Amino acid sequence: MSGEARGRRVVVTGAGSGIGRAVAARLLDEGASVVAMDLAPDHSAAGDADGRLLPVRCDVRDESSVSAAFDTASEFLGGMDGLVTCAGVTDGSPTAEMTLQSWETVLGVNLTGTFLCVRAALPSLLDGEDPAVVTVGSVGSLVAAGRSPAYDASKGGVLALTRGLAAEYADRGLRANCVCPGLVDTGLAGNSSARAGLDPVARSGVPGRVVPPIRRAAAPTEIADVVTFLLSSRASFVTGAAYPVDGGYSAV
Ligand SMILES: NC(=O)c1ccc[n+]([C@@H]2O[C@H](COP(=O)([O-])OP(=O)(O)OC[C@H]3O[C@@H](n4cnc5c(N)ncnc54)[C@H](O)[C@@H]3O)[C@@H](O)[C@H]2O)c1
Protein backbone atom coordinates (compact mmCIF):
# COMPACT_ATOMS: atom_id res chain seq x y z
CA MET A 1 0.00 0.00 0.00
CA SER A 2 1.12 3.56 -0.70
CA GLY A 3 0.24 5.14 2.65
CA GLU A 4 -1.76 7.79 0.78
CA ALA A 5 -4.16 8.20 3.71
CA ARG A 6 -1.44 8.41 6.37
CA GLY A 7 -2.50 10.75 9.15
CA ARG A 8 -6.01 11.26 7.72
CA ARG A 9 -8.80 11.16 10.31
CA VAL A 10 -11.89 9.62 8.78
CA VAL A 11 -15.39 8.54 9.83
CA VAL A 12 -17.03 5.77 7.79
CA THR A 13 -20.71 4.95 8.30
CA GLY A 14 -22.18 1.58 7.40
CA ALA A 15 -18.73 0.18 8.15
CA GLY A 16 -19.98 -3.08 9.63
CA SER A 17 -20.20 -4.86 6.29
CA GLY A 18 -19.95 -4.64 2.51
CA ILE A 19 -18.63 -1.46 0.90
CA GLY A 20 -18.24 0.45 4.19
CA ARG A 21 -16.22 -2.33 5.72
CA ALA A 22 -13.96 -2.47 2.65
CA VAL A 23 -13.51 1.33 2.75
CA ALA A 24 -12.57 1.27 6.45
CA ALA A 25 -10.10 -1.59 5.86
CA ARG A 26 -8.52 0.17 2.88
CA LEU A 27 -8.14 3.45 4.77
CA LEU A 28 -6.54 1.64 7.71
CA ASP A 29 -4.14 -0.10 5.29
CA GLU A 30 -3.27 3.31 3.85
CA GLY A 31 -2.43 4.72 7.28
CA ALA A 32 -5.60 6.58 8.25
CA SER A 33 -7.28 6.61 11.65
CA VAL A 34 -10.86 5.45 11.28
CA VAL A 35 -14.05 5.59 13.30
CA ALA A 36 -16.19 2.78 11.89
CA MET A 37 -19.87 3.44 12.59
CA ASP A 38 -22.70 0.99 12.13
CA LEU A 39 -25.84 -0.33 13.78
CA ALA A 40 -23.67 -3.36 14.52
CA PRO A 41 -20.06 -2.06 14.53
CA ASP A 42 -17.38 -4.51 13.47
CA HIS A 43 -14.61 -5.07 16.02
CA SER A 44 -12.74 -7.72 14.02
CA ALA A 45 -10.00 -5.43 12.67
CA ALA A 46 -9.43 -3.56 15.96
CA GLY A 47 -6.47 -5.72 16.97
CA ASP A 48 -4.58 -5.09 13.72
CA ALA A 49 -4.86 -1.33 13.54
CA ASP A 50 -2.40 -0.09 16.21
CA GLY A 51 -5.12 1.84 17.99
CA ARG A 52 -6.18 3.64 14.76
CA LEU A 53 -9.65 2.04 14.62
CA LEU A 54 -12.63 2.76 16.84
CA PRO A 55 -15.88 0.90 16.08
CA VAL A 56 -18.88 2.96 17.29
CA ARG A 57 -22.56 2.09 17.32
CA CYS A 58 -24.64 4.62 15.40
CA ASP A 59 -28.13 4.60 13.94
CA VAL A 60 -27.90 7.18 11.16
CA ARG A 61 -31.68 7.74 11.22
CA ASP A 62 -31.57 8.89 14.83
CA GLU A 63 -30.42 12.46 15.46
CA SER A 64 -29.28 11.85 19.04
CA SER A 65 -27.44 8.64 18.13
CA VAL A 66 -25.63 10.48 15.32
CA SER A 67 -24.76 13.40 17.56
CA ALA A 68 -23.33 11.14 20.29
CA ALA A 69 -21.40 9.01 17.79
CA PHE A 70 -19.79 12.05 16.11
CA ASP A 71 -18.85 13.54 19.49
CA THR A 72 -17.10 10.24 20.28
CA ALA A 73 -15.46 10.24 16.84
CA SER A 74 -14.10 13.79 17.12
CA GLU A 75 -12.68 13.05 20.53
CA PHE A 76 -11.01 9.78 19.40
CA LEU A 77 -9.64 11.25 16.17
CA GLY A 78 -8.72 14.66 17.61
CA GLY A 79 -10.54 16.30 14.68
CA MET A 80 -11.80 15.06 11.32
CA ASP A 81 -10.51 15.26 7.73
CA GLY A 82 -12.87 12.88 5.97
CA LEU A 83 -16.39 11.45 6.06
CA VAL A 84 -17.62 8.50 4.00
CA THR A 85 -21.35 7.78 4.21
CA CYS A 86 -21.97 4.15 3.28
CA ALA A 87 -24.90 3.23 5.55
CA GLY A 88 -27.77 2.22 3.33
CA VAL A 89 -30.73 -0.09 2.86
CA THR A 90 -32.90 -1.07 -0.07
CA ASP A 91 -36.41 -2.28 -0.68
CA GLY A 92 -37.35 -3.85 -3.96
CA SER A 93 -41.07 -3.13 -3.88
CA PRO A 94 -42.66 -1.71 -7.04
CA THR A 95 -44.26 1.72 -6.61
CA ALA A 96 -47.85 0.44 -6.48
CA GLU A 97 -47.00 -1.97 -3.68
CA MET A 98 -44.63 0.14 -1.63
CA THR A 99 -45.83 0.89 1.89
CA LEU A 100 -45.33 4.30 3.43
CA GLN A 101 -43.29 2.63 6.15
CA SER A 102 -40.86 1.11 3.60
CA TRP A 103 -40.58 4.42 1.77
CA GLU A 104 -39.78 6.23 5.02
CA THR A 105 -37.25 3.61 6.08
CA VAL A 106 -35.31 3.80 2.80
CA LEU A 107 -35.42 7.60 2.65
CA GLY A 108 -34.68 7.80 6.39
CA VAL A 109 -31.49 5.73 6.26
CA ASN A 110 -30.16 6.66 2.83
CA LEU A 111 -31.01 10.35 2.52
CA THR A 112 -31.88 11.75 5.95
CA GLY A 113 -29.14 9.59 7.47
CA THR A 114 -26.59 11.06 5.06
CA PHE A 115 -27.76 14.58 5.91
CA LEU A 116 -27.59 13.97 9.67
CA CYS A 117 -24.05 12.57 9.43
CA VAL A 118 -22.83 15.36 7.15
CA ARG A 119 -24.32 17.99 9.45
CA ALA A 120 -22.77 16.40 12.53
CA ALA A 121 -19.36 16.15 10.84
CA LEU A 122 -19.20 19.64 9.31
CA PRO A 123 -17.86 21.63 12.29
CA SER A 124 -14.91 19.23 12.65
CA LEU A 125 -14.38 18.85 8.89
CA LEU A 126 -14.21 22.61 8.35
CA ASP A 127 -11.36 22.73 10.86
CA GLY A 128 -9.70 19.66 9.28
CA GLU A 129 -6.80 19.20 6.85
CA ASP A 130 -7.91 19.18 3.17
CA PRO A 131 -11.38 18.00 4.24
CA ALA A 132 -13.42 15.76 1.98
CA VAL A 133 -16.81 14.07 2.05
CA VAL A 134 -17.57 11.03 -0.07
CA THR A 135 -21.20 9.97 -0.15
CA VAL A 136 -22.29 6.63 -1.56
CA GLY A 137 -25.04 7.04 -4.10
CA SER A 138 -25.82 4.44 -6.75
CA VAL A 139 -26.39 4.13 -10.45
CA GLY A 140 -29.92 4.90 -9.21
CA SER A 141 -28.63 8.45 -8.57
CA LEU A 142 -28.04 8.78 -12.32
CA VAL A 143 -30.48 6.56 -14.21
CA ALA A 144 -33.57 4.51 -13.39
CA ALA A 145 -31.93 1.44 -11.93
CA GLY A 146 -35.30 -0.27 -11.65
CA ARG A 147 -37.11 -2.27 -9.00
CA SER A 148 -37.11 0.34 -6.23
CA PRO A 149 -38.50 3.86 -6.62
CA ALA A 150 -37.71 4.64 -2.98
CA TYR A 151 -34.11 3.55 -3.41
CA ASP A 152 -33.65 5.57 -6.61
CA ALA A 153 -35.32 8.62 -5.03
CA SER A 154 -33.10 8.38 -1.97
CA LYS A 155 -29.94 8.01 -4.05
CA GLY A 156 -30.93 10.86 -6.38
CA GLY A 157 -31.30 12.92 -3.22
CA VAL A 158 -27.87 11.84 -1.97
CA LEU A 159 -26.28 13.10 -5.20
CA ALA A 160 -28.19 16.40 -5.02
CA LEU A 161 -27.20 16.84 -1.38
CA THR A 162 -23.55 16.17 -2.28
CA ARG A 163 -23.55 18.69 -5.12
CA GLY A 164 -25.15 21.28 -2.84
CA LEU A 165 -22.51 20.64 -0.19
CA ALA A 166 -19.73 21.03 -2.75
CA ALA A 167 -21.10 24.36 -3.93
CA GLU A 168 -21.86 25.63 -0.44
CA TYR A 169 -18.48 24.87 1.15
CA ALA A 170 -15.93 25.03 -1.69
CA ASP A 171 -14.71 28.42 -0.51
CA ARG A 172 -13.96 26.92 2.90
CA GLY A 173 -11.81 24.18 1.39
CA LEU A 174 -14.25 21.28 1.64
CA ARG A 175 -14.64 18.89 -1.30
CA ALA A 176 -17.72 16.64 -1.61
CA ASN A 177 -18.21 13.89 -4.17
CA CYS A 178 -20.70 11.09 -4.70
CA VAL A 179 -19.59 7.59 -5.71
CA CYS A 180 -22.28 5.83 -7.73
CA PRO A 181 -21.74 2.06 -7.69
CA GLY A 182 -23.51 -0.40 -9.93
CA LEU A 183 -24.07 -3.88 -8.64
CA VAL A 184 -21.59 -4.77 -5.89
CA ASP A 185 -21.16 -8.20 -4.40
CA THR A 186 -22.36 -7.49 -0.82
CA GLY A 187 -25.10 -8.54 1.54
CA LEU A 188 -27.32 -5.73 0.26
CA ALA A 189 -27.17 -6.89 -3.35
CA GLY A 190 -27.39 -10.55 -2.41
CA ASN A 191 -30.39 -9.98 -0.22
CA SER A 192 -32.35 -8.01 -2.76
CA SER A 193 -31.54 -10.39 -5.60
CA ALA A 194 -32.50 -13.33 -3.42
CA ARG A 195 -35.84 -11.66 -2.75
CA ALA A 196 -36.31 -11.09 -6.45
CA GLY A 197 -35.30 -14.67 -7.19
CA LEU A 198 -32.66 -13.47 -9.63
CA ASP A 199 -28.96 -13.87 -10.15
CA PRO A 200 -27.18 -10.67 -8.96
CA VAL A 201 -25.72 -9.86 -12.38
CA ALA A 202 -28.83 -10.74 -14.36
CA ARG A 203 -30.83 -8.45 -12.01
CA SER A 204 -28.83 -5.35 -12.84
CA GLY A 205 -31.28 -3.12 -14.61
CA VAL A 206 -34.60 -2.28 -16.10
CA PRO A 207 -35.80 -4.33 -19.09
CA GLY A 208 -33.42 -3.87 -22.01
CA ARG A 209 -30.51 -2.98 -19.72
CA VAL A 210 -29.48 -6.40 -18.60
CA VAL A 211 -25.85 -6.49 -17.52
CA PRO A 212 -23.09 -3.87 -17.37
CA PRO A 213 -20.54 -3.93 -20.22
CA ILE A 214 -18.07 -5.37 -17.72
CA ARG A 215 -20.17 -8.45 -17.21
CA ARG A 216 -19.93 -8.97 -13.47
CA ALA A 217 -20.67 -7.40 -10.10
CA ALA A 218 -17.93 -5.28 -8.49
CA ALA A 219 -15.99 -6.41 -5.45
CA PRO A 220 -16.42 -3.99 -2.51
CA THR A 221 -12.68 -3.26 -2.72
CA GLU A 222 -13.18 -1.80 -6.22
CA ILE A 223 -15.52 0.82 -4.73
CA ALA A 224 -13.12 1.38 -1.81
CA ASP A 225 -10.30 2.21 -4.27
CA VAL A 226 -12.28 5.08 -5.78
CA VAL A 227 -13.48 6.33 -2.39
CA THR A 228 -9.88 6.39 -1.14
CA PHE A 229 -8.80 8.37 -4.20
CA LEU A 230 -11.59 10.92 -3.76
CA LEU A 231 -10.66 11.41 -0.10
CA SER A 232 -7.03 12.02 -0.99
CA SER A 233 -5.22 15.16 -2.15
CA ARG A 234 -4.78 13.49 -5.57
CA ALA A 235 -8.43 14.48 -6.11
CA SER A 236 -7.76 18.10 -5.11
CA PHE A 237 -9.70 19.58 -8.08
CA VAL A 238 -12.58 17.11 -7.94
CA THR A 239 -15.71 18.33 -6.18
CA GLY A 240 -19.44 18.12 -6.79
CA ALA A 241 -18.85 15.07 -9.00
CA ALA A 242 -20.95 11.98 -9.52
CA TYR A 243 -18.46 9.16 -9.93
CA PRO A 244 -19.96 6.04 -11.54
CA VAL A 245 -18.16 2.84 -10.51
CA ASP A 246 -20.54 0.58 -12.35
CA GLY A 247 -18.75 -1.48 -14.99
CA GLY A 248 -20.15 0.85 -17.65
CA TYR A 249 -23.80 0.36 -16.63
CA SER A 250 -24.77 4.03 -16.83
CA ALA A 251 -22.81 4.58 -20.06
CA VAL A 252 -24.99 2.42 -22.31
N1 LIG B 1 -24.31 -3.54 -3.12
C2 LIG B 1 -24.69 -2.86 -4.19
O3 LIG B 1 -24.92 -3.42 -5.27
C4 LIG B 1 -24.77 -1.36 -4.13
C5 LIG B 1 -24.92 -0.65 -5.33
C6 LIG B 1 -25.01 0.74 -5.29
C7 LIG B 1 -24.95 1.40 -4.08
N8 LIG B 1 -24.83 0.69 -2.92
C9 LIG B 1 -24.80 1.44 -1.68
O10 LIG B 1 -23.62 1.17 -0.98
C11 LIG B 1 -23.84 1.38 0.41
C12 LIG B 1 -23.33 0.17 1.17
O13 LIG B 1 -24.13 -0.95 0.79
P14 LIG B 1 -23.56 -2.44 0.83
O15 LIG B 1 -23.84 -3.04 -0.48
O16 LIG B 1 -22.20 -2.46 1.39
O17 LIG B 1 -24.62 -3.10 1.83
P18 LIG B 1 -24.45 -3.81 3.22
O19 LIG B 1 -25.82 -4.22 3.63
O20 LIG B 1 -23.37 -4.84 3.17
O21 LIG B 1 -23.93 -2.62 4.16
C22 LIG B 1 -24.77 -1.60 4.59
C23 LIG B 1 -24.40 -1.29 6.04
O24 LIG B 1 -25.23 -0.21 6.47
C25 LIG B 1 -25.59 -0.47 7.81
N26 LIG B 1 -26.81 0.24 8.15
C27 LIG B 1 -28.07 0.01 7.69
N28 LIG B 1 -28.92 0.83 8.32
C29 LIG B 1 -28.20 1.60 9.16
C30 LIG B 1 -28.52 2.62 10.07
N31 LIG B 1 -29.80 3.02 10.27
N32 LIG B 1 -27.53 3.20 10.76
C33 LIG B 1 -26.24 2.80 10.61
N34 LIG B 1 -25.86 1.81 9.77
C35 LIG B 1 -26.85 1.22 9.06
C36 LIG B 1 -25.80 -1.98 7.87
O37 LIG B 1 -25.74 -2.46 9.22
C38 LIG B 1 -24.66 -2.48 6.99
O39 LIG B 1 -23.49 -2.76 7.75
C40 LIG B 1 -25.34 1.62 0.58
O41 LIG B 1 -25.58 2.99 0.69
C42 LIG B 1 -25.91 1.09 -0.71
O43 LIG B 1 -27.12 1.71 -1.05
C44 LIG B 1 -24.72 -0.66 -2.92
Q: What is the pLDDT along the chain (252 residues), one digit of tens a residue?
A: 678 899 999 999 999 999 999 999 999 999 999 999 999 887 666 566 789 999 999 999 999 999 999 999 999 999 999 999 999 999 888 899 999 999 999 999 999 999 999 999 999 999 999 999 999 999 999 998 766 889 999 999 999 999 999 999 999 999 999 999 999 999 875 544 444 444 544 544 444 445 789 989 999 999 999 999 999 999 999 999 999 999 999 998
Cβ–ligand 1 distance for 38 under 6 Å, the answer yes
What is the Å distance from ligand 1's center to 171 Cα? 31
Ligand 1 centroid from CA 110, angstroms? 9
User: What pLDDT, on a 0 to 100 scale, did the predictor assign at position 94?
Assistant: 87
Torsion of CA 117, 120, 124, 127, to 10 degrees: 90
**pLDDT for position 208:** 41
Q: Would you state the pLDDT for residue 29? A: 95
Q: Is the CB of 136 under 6 A from ligand 1?
A: yes
Does residue 80's CB lie within 6 angstroms of at least one atom of ligand 1? no
Residue 169 annotated in active site: no
Q: Are 9 and 79 in contact (CB under 8 A)?
A: yes
Contact between 32 and 12 under an 8 Å Cβ cutoff? The reply is no
Our mutation pick for probing the ligand 1 site, out of 21, 38, 102, 198, counting the most ligand atoms within 8 A of Cβ, is: 38
Distance 21 CA to ligand 1 centre (A): 10
SS3 145: coil
Please name which of 79, 75, 153, 61 lies closest in space to residue 116, comparing C-alpha atoms: 61
Name the residue of 89, 109, 110, 226 whose CB sits within 8 Å of the most ligand 1 atoms, as the mutation to test its pocket: 89
Residue located nearest, by CA, to atom 16 of ligand 1: 18
Q: What is the pTM of this model?
A: 0.94
Ligand 1 contact via 147 beta carbon (within 6 Å): no
Ligand 1: centre distance to CA 20 (Å): 7
Instruction: Indicate whether residue 18 lines ligand 1 (CB < 6 A).
Output: yes
pLDDT at 187: 80
**DSSP codes joined into one string, 181-198:** E--BSSHHHHHHHHHHTS
Q: CB neighbours of 139 closer than 8 A, spacing ≥ 6?
A: 145, 180, 181, 182, 244, 246, 249, 250
Q: Indicate the SS3 state at residue 240.
A: coil
- State the distance from the centre of ligand 1 to the C-alpha of 231, rounded, in angstroms: 19
CATH number of 9-246, picked from 3.30.70.270, 3.40.50.720, 3.40.1710.10, 3.40.718.10: 3.40.50.720
Cα(228) to centroid(ligand 1), Å: 17
Q: What is the best residue among 13, 26, 114, 186 to mutate for testing ligand 1's pocket, by most ligand atoms within 8 Å of CB?
A: 186
